[in-house]
Amino acid sequence: MKRGTPIICQALKCMLNRTNAAINTNMHPPVPYYCRRAGSSLPRAPNALGPVQPTAIVDSQEVKFTDGPFYEKHFDSREYLKAFAVDPSTRHGFLPFVLRHLHNTFSTGDLKGKKLIGLGSGPSIYIIISARKCFEEIVLSDFTTGNRREIEKWLKNDEGSFDWHPIIKFVCELEGKSRSPEEVEQKLRKIVQFLKCDVTLENPFQPEMMEPVDCITSSLCLEAACKDLETYRRAVGSIAALLKPGGTLMLTGILNQSYYFVGKQRFDCLVLTQSMVEETVKGQGFSIKLVDIQPATEEEKAGCDGDPFFYLVAQKTE
Ligand SMILES: C[S@@+](CC[C@H](N)C(=O)[O-])C[C@H]1O[C@@H](n2cnc3c(N)ncnc32)[C@H](O)[C@@H]1O
């Protein structure tokens, strides 16, 4: 018994090393442990977007979450845009759902101001297309350098920048074609700038101090950036602090989602229910003006386990 112990220890040590290596690279550990958060389902079968890998854990306590630095290393902006920013007139799903809502919100005439922030906007501009009519300045922001480059390329209209034309055209059609897509692009390029942000910080634009703004939109970011509900609450609190009293927050995302894929890379999400989102927003000093949800399409469910989408508008109480 005693003589066998070193061999067992050696084997255990070797397995632990392999498990830790797997955790560091967010790959499958040698034994099939699955990370299951409250309300999450087991990963689906491999799909067109790549094989499904469970999140690695050491034991039932320790969970690695794909945080900002992980995004900096592994988030492929182009791969994401290719899969996500598809012509909304050709399919149902998240993008047309959000674009229609943003159009309705920004067309009422009630929302006007100096500055709007798109928080954790990634390499995307869709959240600000309708907003351009209501604000003098727009700040897009994200954690990663790759996303910043992608946006800056588009702002400079550089060769090889992502083609947002079909999505801008879709919004122009919602607006009754009062402006051409080219005019809208030109206007956006004049009023948009990009800043680095970390939504998990008390001041997401640290070290820069931003004057409170009139409006903040954030889509598909907080659930990707916040590892637990407490971090999510703090992030919504930091958003409230960035807004003027009476300012508006538009939050969109996918409920009940524990992961999504960009190509073959898996990213974790905080599993949120509608009541968790609403309670958090109310708890951080907002009154909710509108909430809508829509079931995810089968096609979209192939790359993630979330369903349904949500769109929420809230106002910071005075
Ligand atoms: C699913 S993507 C959504 C991107 C974009 N909002 C959209 O709707 O297309 C998640 C985004 O969250 C960003 N992100 C992750 N952690 C972050 C953090 N701590 N602070 C700011 N952004 C973060 C990622 O870089 C990525 O762009």
Q: Nearest CA to 147 among 167, 125, 171?
A: 125
Provide the greatest CA pair distance for the chain: 84
Identify whether the C-beta of residue 121 lies closer than 8 Å to the C-beta of residue 162. Answer: no
Cα separation, 73 vs 84, whole angstroms: 20
Show the DSSP H helices in the chain as ranges. 5-24, 68-74, 77-84, 94-107, 145-155, 165-174, 181-191, 222-225, 229-242, 274-283, 298-301
* CA angle centred on 82, ends 190 and 66, rounded to 5°: 95
CATH superfamily of 68-316: Vaccinia Virus protein VP39 (3.40.50.150)
CA of 16 to the centre of ligand 1 (A): 32
Predicted local distance difference test score (pLDDT) of residue 27: 37
Task: Name the residue of 77, 86, 102, 143 whose CB sits within 8 Å of the most ligand 1 atoms, as the mutation to test its pocket.
Answer: 143
Task: Name the residue of 71, 75, 129, 236 whose CB sits within 8 Å of the most ligand 1 atoms, as the mutation to test its pocket.
Answer: 71
Given the CA of residue 252, which atom of ligand 1 is nearest to it? 8
CA atoms within 13 A on the CB side of 298: 0
Predicted local distance difference test score (pLDDT) of residue 299: 84
CA of 123 to the centre of ligand 1 (A): 9
CA of 142 to the centre of ligand 1 (A): 6
pLDDT along the chain (318 residues), means of 10: 40 40 36 29 34 42 82 98 94 94 95 97 98 98 98 97 98 96 98 98 97 98 98 98 98 97 97 98 98 92 93 94
Cα separation, 207 vs 204, whole angstroms: 9
Residue 228 annotated as binding site: no
Task: Name the residue of 71, 221, 227, 231 whose CB sits within 8 Å of the most ligand 1 atoms, as the mutation to test its pocket.
Answer: 221
Domain ranges of the chain: 68-316
CA-nearest residue for atom 18, ligand 1, is 198
Given the CA of residue 127, which atom of ligand 1 is nearest to it? 8
From the CB of residue 133, how many other CB atoms can be counted at a distance below 10 Å? 16
Predicted local distance difference test score (pLDDT) of residue 161: 97
Predicted local distance difference test score (pLDDT) of residue 62: 53
* CA angle centred on 136, ends 133 and 142, rounded to 5°: 95
Predicted local distance difference test score (pLDDT) of residue 92: 85
CA of 305 to the centre of ligand 1 (A): 18
